[in-house]
Structure 1
Amino acid sequence: MKKTVIATASFALVAAVGLTGCSGSSGGGASSGPVTITYSNFISNGGNEKNLDKIVKAFEKDNPNITVKVTTSAYADYFTKLQTDLAAGTESDVFDVDAGSFANIQAAGSLAALDGVDAAKYRTSVLDSYKVDGKQYALPTSFSNVVLFYNKDLFDKAGVATPTADWTWADEKAAAEKLTDKKAGVWGDYQPISYNEYYKAMAQAGGSFLAKDGKKSDIDSDAGKAAADWIAGKSGTVMPTAADGAGTPDFDTNLFKAGKLAMWHTGIWMIGLVGDLPFNWDIAVEPGDTQKASATFSNAAVVSANSKNKAAAQKWAEYLSSSQEMVQVRLDAGWELPATSDDAALKPYLEKTPPANRQAVFDSLKHIAIAPQLGANGQQIQDAVNNALGEIAAGRAKTDTAIPALATQVDGLIK
């Protein structure tokens, strides 16, 4: 799921493409007779194809007049193929999008508005991420988010109170300073110095990466400077530097697993990879500054505006995103988390340990930071942010000059 936001730039071109032709659906109209709908996805690629097939078969059993024809592509290829299909009007009746691609696809008029959705079945904040002008255009099929991992034994050894959902940046900083023991090779904190962390930190500081009109950034602001100081300012004080290896593949993972890292900002996808360790560890909702804001990434199912079988297509999208069968298959397989509001269905997940406080995963959804829609130059913008933060962290630039310069650079790239 950490790949979720990278598709934004691929779809800037889609907004300029008219709807030419009809969907690749077979069968015509919303008749009561047998209907075949097509579904293109990336969510099952790489090992969950059989799990998706279980959901399809359960749906077809409950809806004997609807057949679902599935096409699966690797994430790396999926959006290029989708862009081609949208331009030609040959897209599937139902297809996958993610949080990074949704806005541009919707703005192009490619998606059907969904009527009669039972919003009570979904986590509100995730569902609302796919709402435009009060209309629902996509249904979230899964999500992941970033939380604060921590080594409980290190906290106990240092006599420092463990993180709570009420913690602020100030609380985290104070704890990190007490927990850092450079002589012993123990660091108090680790947060990637990256664009993804920066836009989230801006939200936590009460700001927004983009101005309300979306035509320029709001980086050169108090929130923008506070976010830069918060992330880059940790380097070399409570967090290892690039010279120490920070930013290299698996460095933070290995540091945490070695018992040498007290706090770690990372995604819930790491829970399974970390697993049982020779020390006690847990997770908490990430601290905020003026407010909470958790980075949440999600995938969703949409219905093509060109579909000739919109009613059947929406029925499949709803089943894929909210049915009990889907929830059970995902939880049994460890296949990302469903955005269901059914706490009873999630009980098996919440009862698994470690970590003990899995509830933090869902508490983090109460206040989320949605990835900005950056347009055609999205990757260049992210690279510019990464470079600027890296210069500040290395001590080669000062926030007061680097952030205004970054804002000018980003504004020139926004289209």
Structure 2
Amino acid sequence: MYVSKMLKKAVAVLMMTMVTASCLAGCQSQGDKSGKVQLTFGIWDKNQQPTMQALCDAYTAQNPNVSIEIQLTPYKGGEYWTKLEASMTGGTAPDVFWMNGLHVESYVDGEMLLPLDEYITSNSFDLSQFPESLVSLYNVEDKQYAVPKDFDTNAVWYNKEIFDNAGVAYPTDDWTWEDMVETAKQLTDQSKGIYGIAAPLDFQTCYYNTIFAANGSILNADKTATGYNDSNTQKGIQCWIDLINEGISPTLAETTDTSADAMFESGKLAMIWAGSYMTPEYVQNDVVKGKIDLVEAPTFEGNQGNVINGLGYSVYANSKQKDEASKFALWLGGEEAMKIQGESGVVISARNDAQQYFAQTNPDLNLKAYTNQAGIATALPCCKVSSQLFDIEAKYLKLAFSNEMSLEDACSKIAEESDAALAEMNK
């Protein structure tokens, strides 16, 4: 009897030891061998990986109990989102990861993003330090699902050599659409294959900007209808088609065969509307390097209009390290982190007090043309069926840009099909 009791006690102790060891192993599965809290950080741009690593190093130096592993997955072909969704289904998603406006609502619906409001409040994190349009991009039903990371707006780059050869004065930040058109006419030289400006079928970089300046709309506030039947919206699109019809822009077929960016970088385009993300590519191009500068997007119909879009830092809703992951996400939106990112010169840091660093990385260029319009810019319209709406828009605007259909008819078809898609989304 005594032996039996002793054996039972030994077995019980052994079982308790095994359970304890198992628990410890489970707890340390989110840590390294030294027992640190281990976070994973999902990104998609290899050009930003060195900067993201610098941020991780700075954070872990201040928080030695934490280690952070960067997981890089290419964006191209949707690989980043495919892998992210699969890892969320399997419960192994990164603790902190890049998010964009086009996907945030779908991920919120899937209950995969952690609301950050509690952490924002308890840490006195000030969202007013960011452009309101960026904050709202990640606010769904009054809950904040990401800390703004960076942003891009649009400006007009120009080739000074082409201007000089034509004897045309450089544009200035206070110019108008009419100024731009007149300048483009003076710079177009078909004998040399040079166009003054380009009107590619690019919603974010081109015609959305003039739609907003003309007081048109793409998507209403409650995301139940589009604004394509609005004459102001059509006015903001027609002005681009006019550039093609006047012969001062390449045709749609030409910009489809050779992108407007490629034309500008080969010295065949005097001016181009471009997002701030194109800066590193332009300044490193051997053909135009040292020959280019930029100015703010011109006013249209007497108004400034610009589109702002940007990334955010989100936290996985099922992270085993929610508190530490949220703390890291908020730190990434802080003054120190935004300065480190801004000084890299790759993107514009989202914080208002850190936007200056982007311009300082290339002091010979008027890069303030991008940040100067951040405050008036409209957030890129997004919803759960944005990709479907973009496809519908492109299908019919291709016909309008190539004069195979009137813009009014094209917009009528866009409105009809897009509104049907929104109705289905809102069921």
Query: Do they superpose with TM above 0.5?
Result: yes
Report 1:153-232 matches (<5 A): 153-156=161-164, 158=166, 160-196=168-204, 197-232=206-241
Per-residue CA shift, 1:155-176, capped at 9, x if unaligned? Answer: 4555555333333323322322
Per-residue CA shift, 1:271-317, capped at 9, x if unaligned? Answer: 22222637742111212424323233321111234445443222211
Check conservation: 2:145, 2:314, Cα contact below 8 A.
yes
Match of 2:298 in 1: 287
DSSP-derived class of the 2:371 partner: helix
Whether 1:340 aligns to 2:351 is yes
Per-residue CA shift, 1:15-55, capped at 9, x if unaligned? Answer: xxxxxxxxxx9679xxxxx7625334124x43544443332
Q: Distance in 1 between matches of 2:383 and 2:115?
A: 23
The count of corresponding residues between Structure 1 and Structure 2 is: 380
Aligned counterpart for 1:239 among listed residues 246, 249, 258: 249
DSSP-derived class of the 1:300 partner: strand
Letter in 1 for 2:244: S
Letter in 2 for 1:286: A
DSSP-derived class of the 2:420 partner: helix
- CA, structure 1 residues 233+413, in 2 after alignment: closer, same or farther (shift >3 Å)? farther
Q: Distance in 2 between matches of 1:167 and 1:256?
A: 21
Letter in 2 for 1:370: A
Unaligned runs of 5+ in 1: 1-24, 29-33
Q: 1:88: Cα distance to partner? A: 5.1
- CA, structure 1 residues 360+278, in 2 after alignment: closer, same or farther (shift >3 Å)? closer
- CA, structure 1 residues 317+229, in 2 after alignment: closer, same or farther (shift >3 Å)? same
Report which stretch shifted further, 385-394 or 87-96: 87-96
Check conservation: 2:199, 2:244, Cα contact below 8 A.
no
Report 1:232-311 matches (<5 A): 232-237=241-246, 238-243=248-253, 245-249=254-258, 251-275=259-283, 277=288, 280-290=291-301, 291-311=303-323
Per-residue CA shift, 1:162-206, capped at 9, x if unaligned? Answer: 333333323322322333233343212113213433434322221
**Could you tell me the TM-score, scaled by structure 1's length?**
0.79
Per-residue CA shift, 1:80-105, capped at 9, x if unaligned? Answer: 23223444554333222112212332
Q: Distance in 2 between matches of 1:151 and 1:271?
A: 14
Report which stretch shifted further, 378-387 or 152-161: 152-161
Letter in 1 for 2:219: L
Asked which structure has the greater RCO (Cα within 8 Å, sep 6+), the reply is 1
Aligned counterpart for 2:116 among listed residues 113, 118, 125: 113
- CA, structure 1 residues 98+379, in 2 after alignment: closer, same or farther (shift >3 Å)? closer
Q: Distance in 1 between matches of 2:305 and 2:212?
A: 6
Greater fraction of residues in helix: 2
Match of 1:365 in 2: 374
Q: Distance in 1 between matches of 2:184 and 2:331?
A: 45
Match of 1:327 in 2: 339
Q: Distance in 2 between matches of 1:308 and 1:258?
A: 51
- CA, structure 1 residues 71+242, in 2 after alignment: closer, same or farther (shift >3 Å)? closer
Per-residue CA shift, 1:85-133, capped at 9, x if unaligned? Answer: 4445543332221122123323544322232213365455434433345
Check conservation: 1:145, 1:297, Cα contact below 8 A.
yes
- CA, structure 1 residues 379+278, in 2 after alignment: closer, same or farther (shift >3 Å)? closer
Q: Distance in 1 between matches of 2:131 and 2:222?
A: 27
- CA, structure 1 residues 186+269, in 2 after alignment: closer, same or farther (shift >3 Å)? same
Q: Distance in 1 between matches of 2:197 and 2:340?
A: 36
Unaligned runs of 5+ in 2: 1-25, 30-34
Aligned counterpart for 2:327 among listed residues 312, 315, 318: 315
Q: 1:229: Cα distance to partner? A: 0.6
Q: 1:323: Cα distance to partner? A: 4.6
DSSP-derived class of the 1:402 partner: helix
Q: Distance in 2 between matches of 1:89 and 1:164?
A: 53
- CA, structure 1 residues 174+375, in 2 after alignment: closer, same or farther (shift >3 Å)? same
Aligned counterpart for 2:153 among listed residues 138, 145, 160: 145
Match of 1:14 in 2: none
Letter in 2 for 1:385: E
Q: Distance in 2 between matches of 1:35 and 1:106?
A: 30
Check conservation: 2:41, 2:68, Cα contact below 8 A.
no
Identical positions, percent: 24
Match of 1:103 in 2: 105
Match of 1:62 in 2: 62
- CA, structure 1 residues 274+94, in 2 after alignment: closer, same or farther (shift >3 Å)? closer
DSSP-derived class of the 2:313 partner: strand
Report which stretch shifted further, 81-90 or 52-61: 81-90
- CA, structure 1 residues 308+41, in 2 after alignment: closer, same or farther (shift >3 Å)? closer
Letter in 1 for 2:134: V
- Larger CA Rg, structure 1 vs 2: 2
- CA, structure 1 residues 91+198, in 2 after alignment: closer, same or farther (shift >3 Å)? same
Match of 2:387 in 1: 379
